[in-house]
Amino acid sequence: MDHLLIRGGRRLEGQVAIDGAKNAALPMCVAPLLTDEPVRLHRIPHLRDVDTILSTISSLGKEVRHDGNTVEISCGGALKSEAEARYVEQMRASFLILGPLVARLGHAVVPLPGGCTIGRRPVDLHLEGLCAMGARIEEFPDHVVVKAEQLHGARISFPYPSVGATEHLLMTAALIRGETRITNPSREPEIGDLINLLRKMGAHIVVGKMSIRINGSEHLHGAEHTIIPDRLEAGTYLLAGAITGGEVQVMGVEPGHLRSVIEVLRRVGMSITESSETIRLLGEQRAEPGHVVTAPYPGFPTDLQPLLVALLCLGRGESLVEERVFESRFAYVHSLNCMGGRIRVIGRKAVVTGVNMLVGAKVPALDIRAGGALILAGLAAEGETVIYHPEHIDRGYASIEEKLALIGAQIERGK
């Protein structure tokens, strides 16, 4: 069985170059559905999820060309209105094709999405937004059929700031007549990056304090865009430095995108310096106890919560981590406890009691960030750690074993 083998107990030290943001790349690979003209995207990370979304786009009739970390998506023939289940079922972001297809073709058939099993992530807000824009929706157990003679602008208010629904309705609204106003949208940096691409394609978008206003256009054109750096990858390597008592510098980042992460790491005792495009962490001591609550941006990101818990496993005293985004995010806790961690889960809270040592074990990566947490634990543990199902890790981290090896980790991939 494929696995990652880690020989722990080594201090990490050195520089890591950060790739483009996966969570920005995925919707940006969908945006070319809005035009027949070429869209060139730079700094695209080499990830399984990116491969999946590009395969989805290609199966709908787009031509995809790769040149290193640059992808050009252009017209490859007539657009198809029905997506293939084998792609959409793998990954939630593939559902973003629905609105753009309806805006272009007047109808679409799209399977219900899959992805990480970290809790309920319904598509209700996506469908309600499309209904407000004039779509007629038929829901089936495994797919949806959406039709509209002509979509129109609408006023849409989210009960919570959904990243996927914000991306989906932004792209759809850019190509339909009238004004759309989205209240309580997600404010992740990746949303801002998508807006920048859509503006380059000719969309008229105004971002306010509590809403986003989109004046739709009947025609969008091609564009060229460089994707922002991946703040979650950067946070992962900073936490890897912290858990090993190392000194790690992440390069080519936007420190402002990591403000909440930097604040938490400083709060638990890490020394951090930053410049315009770099962040350096020095882990001079075990982590101090902390109380951390995940929240939508600009709060502490849920995707780094499992990795923070791994760090706190080797901290001093008792810490409390509250998960307020996904209700099933703590599935990885059993594996950390198998490695010697002392974590009690009470509802959506994890009480973490620091221990002096973690020990290597054979554990499964249940999802992308759970896999990241187990890698961090393995780097700090005594002995060998074997992590099964690295394909989940590959969905969110490009060349992670090579990058970690460059800063002193003993990690290799095996079968």
Residue 205 sits in the same domain as residue 276: no
User: 142 pLDDT band (50/70/90 cuts)?
Assistant: confident
Longest Cα–Cα distance in the chain: 64
What angle, rounded to 10 degrees, do the helices at 124-132 and 98-105 form?
Answer: 20
Residue 354 sits in the same domain as residue 276: yes
Predicted pLDDT at 84: 87
Predicted pLDDT at 222: 98
Catalytic-residue membership of 116: yes
Burial 100-114 (b: 16+ CB within 10 A, else e): bbbbbbebbbbbbbb
Predicted pLDDT at 114: 55
Domain count, the chain: 2
Domain holding 180, by residue range, is 22-226
- Give the rounded percent of residues in the chain with a pLDDT score beyond 70: 98
User: 117 pLDDT band (50/70/90 cuts)?
Assistant: very low
Closest CA to 307 of 246, 373, 371, 242: 373
Predicted pLDDT at 92: 75
Residue 182 sits in the same domain as residue 286: no
What is d(CA 218, CA 82) in angstroms, rounded to the nearest whole number? 22
Choose the final residue of a domain: 198, 226, 254: 226
The DSSP code sequence of 179-239 is EEEEES----HHHHHHHHHHHHTT-EEEE-SSEEEEE--S----EEEEPPB-HHHHHHHHH
Residue 76 sits in the same domain as residue 158: yes
List residues bridging with 386 in a β-sheet: 5, 362
Residue 203 sits in the same domain as residue 234: no
Residue 180 sits in the same domain as residue 259: no
Residue 280 sits in the same domain as residue 203: no
User: 121 pLDDT band (50/70/90 cuts)?
Assistant: very low
Choose the final residue of a domain: 200, 226, 252: 226
Choose the final residue of a domain: 202, 226, 250: 226
Average pLDDT, whole number, for the chain? 95
Residue 106 sits in the same domain as residue 205: yes
Measured in whole angstroms, the distance separating CA 403 from the mean position of its chain's CA atoms is: 19
User: 313 pLDDT band (50/70/90 cuts)?
Assistant: very high
What angle, rounded to 10 degrees, do the helices at 22-30 and 231-243 form?
Answer: 160
Given the residues 116, 131, 313, 338, the one annotated as active site: 116
Residue 81 sits in the same domain as residue 213: yes
Where does 68-135 show beta strands of DSSP type E?
A: 70-75, 107-111
Q: Is the pLDDT of residue 115 over 50?
A: no
Predicted pLDDT at 106: 97
Burial 69-82 (b: 16+ CB within 10 A, else e): bebbbbeeeebebe
Residue 259 sits in the same domain as residue 362: yes
Say which CATH number the domain at 343 has: 3.65.10.10
Closest CA to 220 of 205, 233, 207, 240: 205
Q: Which helix (H) or strand (E) holds 281?
A: strand 278-282
pLDDT tens per residue across span 270-287: 999 999 999 999 998 999
Residue 166 sits in the same domain as residue 245: no
Residue 353 sits in the same domain as residue 390: yes
User: 90 pLDDT band (50/70/90 cuts)?
Assistant: confident
Mean pLDDT of 362-383: 97
Composition of the chain by helix, strand, coil, percent to 5: 35, 30, 35
pLDDT tens per residue across span 150-170: 999 999 999 999 999 999 999
